[in-house]
Amino acid sequence: MESGEGLRSRTQALKSIRTKTADKGRLADAKDNSELIEEEPLSPSARLFHEPNFNVYIIAIMGCKTKIHEDVVRANLLHTLLKHPRFSSLQVGDDKGDMKWVRTKVDLDKHLRVPDLNPDMESGDQFVEDYVYNLSKTTIDRSQQPLWDLHLLNVKTSDAEAVGIFRIHHSLGDGTSLISLLLACTRKTSDPSALPTVPVKKKKEKSSSNPLWLSRCFIGLWWICRLFWHTVVDVFMFIATAMFLKDTETPLKGPPGVEFTPRRIVHRTVSLDDIKLVKNAMHMTVNDVALGITQAGLSRYLNRKYGNNLPKSIRLRSTLLINIRTSAGIQAFADMMENDTKAKWGNWIGYVLLPFSIALRDDPLDYIRRAKATIDRKKHSLEALYTFSISEFILKTLGIKRASALSHRIITHTTMCFSNLVGPLEEIGYYGHPMAYLAPSCYGQPHALMINFQSYINKMTIVLSVDEGTIPHPRELCDDIVHSLELIKNAVIAKGLVKECHNTNGTCSENSNSIIT
C-alpha cells in the first residue's frame, strides 16, 4: 500500500502535468506503448474532478466469502476491466491546456496491491478500516498510470474471509456506471456463465378507466404547470445556494478545507426484508424508506449532540450529483469488455439539492411520509437537467476554474451527500470469489459526511464516509440509522399495517419477492 503523508502528499499529487516537454514526452511514450491510438478529450465533468478542491476518488469495498487468489484476479483483469478504454488510458495534457485520453499498455504490478499480512492480527475489521483510512490520505499519479488500483487483503473480518478494495478516480466515470462496470465483471455463483440480475423499476399499470378528452387535457396541463413551477423554484434555490444560502452550522457540517482530510469509512448491514416490509406496508419505495430512516437517524444523532435540546428549523441538505446520461447497464458493459463493442460512458453531472427534515417526531412513520413527499416533489422537476446546463455554460464561457469554484461553493453550502444504489438479487462471485457484501463510498469530496445505501440479495449495507474531525464517532451515527429502522419497522407492525408476518424478524411472506424501486 502507498505510504500516506497526509495533506502534503495529497496536495502534491494535484499539481498540473501540463508542461510542453513533459507532456510531449509522456504523449510519445503513451503512443509507443499503446495498441490503439485514440486521443479523446476529457469531458468537462471529468476535468472538473481534477481540480484541487474536487479531487474525488470512489472506493468500492468487496467482502468475499473465501480467500482471494491473486493469480486468478490478475488473469481475469486482463480480459475484462483492462479492455475498457478508461481503465487502460492515461490522462495527458497538451500545450493548449486541454486533456486527452491516450491508450497505453497497463502494468498490473502498479495497479494490483497484495500486502503481506499477519494472519494472527487482533482485529481484522479494525485493520481494514484503518487501511482504507490511510488509503484516503493518498492519490494516484495520473501522469504515470491509469487512475485506478485494486487492493487484495486476505484478512478475516466479522463478515468476510477476505476483502478487496477498488479505488477509482471519479474522472473515469460516475458512481452508478462504475459500480455497474464492476458488477459486469461478476457472475452468478449458481450459474457461472450468467450475469447478475439487478432489479428494475416497475412500470405503472395503465388505468382501465377512460376519462373524457377534456379531463385528460386538464390533467396534462396541470402536470406541465407543476413541473415548470417546481423547476423554477429548484433552479432559484440552486442559484441562491451558489450565492449566499447556507445550511445551518451543525455537528455534521464540515469546516473549510474538509476535502483535503482523510476519511473514516464504516458500514453496517441490515435486513433488506425489513426495509421491504416498511416499503410495502406504507406503499412507498425502498428509496423512500432509506431516506426516511436516514432523516430519523440524523435527528437522533443531532439531538444527542445538542444535549437533548434539538434546535428547530435546522436547514440540512444533501447535494446529489446526478449523471443525466442514462447508464448503459451491466449487459452492455459485459459485451463491451467481451466483444469490444461500445457503450455509453461519461460524466454528465447535474445537481439536485435534497432537503432533510430534522426534528423529533412522536410517530416514527412521519419520517417516512416526509421522505416520500420530498422525493416525489423532486422527481417532478427538471432540476438536474437545468443545473447541468448552467454548469456547462459557466465552464464554456468562464473556464474550468470558475466552474470548479461554483461546484465547490454549492457543495460547501450544503451538509452532506446521500445515495442509494441497487445491487444484485442473487449471490455473485467476483472472478469466482463469492461476494459477502459490497460497500461503495468516496473520499476527496467537500463534505464531512457521505451516506450510501447498497442492496445485495436480501441485505442492505449502510456506508458512512466521514471526516473524523467533524464526526469523531461515526459508528454512533451508523447505529442511530440502524436503530431508526427498527423503530419504524416496529411501528408498522404495531399499527397493524402488515397483514401476515410469519418470521421472527417481522418479515412477511408476501414481501419476499418485492422489487426495489
- The identity of residue 342, as a single letter, is K
Residues 171 and 415: beta-carbon distance below 8 Å? no
CA distance 89 to 102: 5
CA distance 180 to 488: 31
Residues 443 and 56: beta-carbon distance below 8 Å? yes
DSSP 172-225: G--HHHHHHHHHHTEEESSSTTSPPP---PPPPPPPS----HHHHHHHHHHHHH
130 Cβ contact list (under 8 Å, min separation 6): none
> CA–CA distance from 422 to each of 4, 125, 271 (Å)?
33, 25, 14
Paired residues of 353 in beta bridges: 319
Residues 164 and 153: beta-carbon distance below 8 Å? yes
Grid cell of 462 as nine digits: 449502510
| Residue numbers annotated as active site | 170
Query: Residue 196 gets which letter from DSSP?
Result: P
CA distance 154 to 74: 15
Helix-helix angle 365-379:474-494, to 10 degrees: 100
